Chain A
Amino acid sequence: MTASIDNTHFLLRRLHSLFGLVPVGAFLVFHLWENSQSRFGAAHFNETVVGGLQRLNYLPFLELFVIALPLLFHAGYGLAVIGSGRAEPLRYRFLRNRWYWLQRISGVGLMLFLLLHVGMTRIAGMFEPSIRADLFGHMQQSLSQPPVLALYLIGLWLAVFHLANGLSTAAIAWGLTTSANAQRRFGWLCGAFGLLLGAIGMHGLIGFLAAAGGAA
């Protein structure tokens, strides 16, 4: 009798699901929470929020092992998962089927967004010390260009949808919710969570534009 751990298929797929929740999903919540403090202005944001993070112990390892590698694994395996299915959102117009399709669309969209987003902030900051020193000013400048703001709004809602819907499907995959009623109730709860998280994210984006700028 071959056990499930002799065959990596099940473990890899569950790892993909787990990584989507923690650390990647948990990081998204933390990230949007941190950014919602943009409304306190440049000084607070640059010193307390960004400065606090930049002074974290073992920061490069945390960034690599808690964020980058789990996300890369999730995204890479996610692309393989996308290739293993064929959505028919127009033939089967059921809500969950549309979410199935959107989960995949949002995954691909997120990958493109994250490449741009990480490139424009974290990677650009490695070459440009002034960006690291005044991340608030950098974000304010970027977001005041309408195309960039639109890009961020789309990226935000893709990520929030993907996490909220992923939470509801992960609950089925792991066996937390079994009955149709439990799955429906938890689905609504995830929807409410998504709306709240999206609102926090929007608040963060608006904060960069509304709050007093300038590092000095």
Chain B
Amino acid sequence: MIRANVELRIRRQDTPGSAPYWQVFNAPVRERDNVISVLMQLRQQPVTADGQRVDPVAFEHNCMEEVCGACAMLINGLPRPSCSALIDELDHPIVLEPLPKFPVVRDLIVDRSRMSEHLQRVKAWIRIDGAWEIHERTQRQSQQAWARNYLYSRCMSCGCCMAACPQFGPDKAFVGPAPLAQVRLMNAHPTGRYDSAERLHAIMAEGGLTDCGNAQNCVRVCPKEIPLTTAIGELGRQTTLQMLKDLFGA
């Protein structure tokens, strides 16, 4: 049931290199719509507020339940997943822009491959296959450790924390908060911890942990409430100890 029209101001961009421009739409909204469902509606009738028929707005989405991270964008100036941004809870008009700090592919779609490059840079994986077979299963961990580690495993690589970070950007070396939090997670894993010195060395190089300026926007905007600044503090402690080991011997 269409309940009302809502004004959407959308920053559009036709190709990766082209200049962005703004368009205003009066989109029909139903009860309990979110930004993505409104954009889906709009795609069927891509007509601007002054009656001009335009190309449908390009956007990305997948899970519609805030676990895939694909639909993150700037909504009324703040980065967040658009599937969990309910129209009823937003100030109007609703302003939509592509997630900043990442290159725009088209309209609201950005290229987040830097996220995966940075996850690779900090070795955010667990080595289970060596040159030999490992017959052992992963060791058990305490319920308490499990509960703490679980928080970080919820990261969906949406990039909101990176977009809000003053130290992260296309022209900056900083790996960003999400990859750092994954180092925290992997270093605590019973098998992953065997490679923790390597991960620490990766984040003690250019663009690593020390490029964090403690603005702490990341933890404020993370939709999964991941304790990013706790991870950064814990990695601060781990790198301090690693530095002492490197200086004086392990």
Contact = CB atoms under 8 A, between A and B. Distances in A.
B177 to A, nearest CB: 13
Interface stretch (A26-34, A140-148, A177-185, A206-214): A177-185
A88 interface: yes
Interface stretch (A4-12, A47-55, A113-121, A126-134): A4-12
A56 interface: no
Contact of A4 (B167, B217, B237, B246): B246
Contacts of A96: 214-217
A2 B199 CA distance: 11
Contacts of B221: 92
Nearest to A87: B166
B242 A4 contact: yes
Contact of A175 (B197, B219, B238): B238
Interface in A169-194: 169, 172-180, 182-183
Main secondary structure of the interface of A (DSSP, over half): helix
Interface in B166-221: 166-167, 169, 172-174, 197-198, 200-201, 204-206, 208-217, 219-221
A4 B243 contact: yes
B116 interface: no
A14 interface: yes
B243 A172 contact: no
B23 interface: no
Contacts of A9: 204-206, 208, 210
Given A13-B210, A84-B211, A3 B205 contact: no
A99 B232 CA distance: 18
B239 A178 contact: no
Contacts of B167: 84-85
B200 A4 contact: yes
A179 B219 CA distance: 12
B220 A177 contact: no
Contacts of B229: 172, 180, 183
A173 B214 contact: yes
B233 interface: yes
A2 B123 CA distance: 14
B197 A87 contact: no
Interface of A: 1-5, 7, 9-11, 13-14, 81, 84-88, 91-92, 94, 96-97, 99-101, 103, 169, 172-180, 182-183
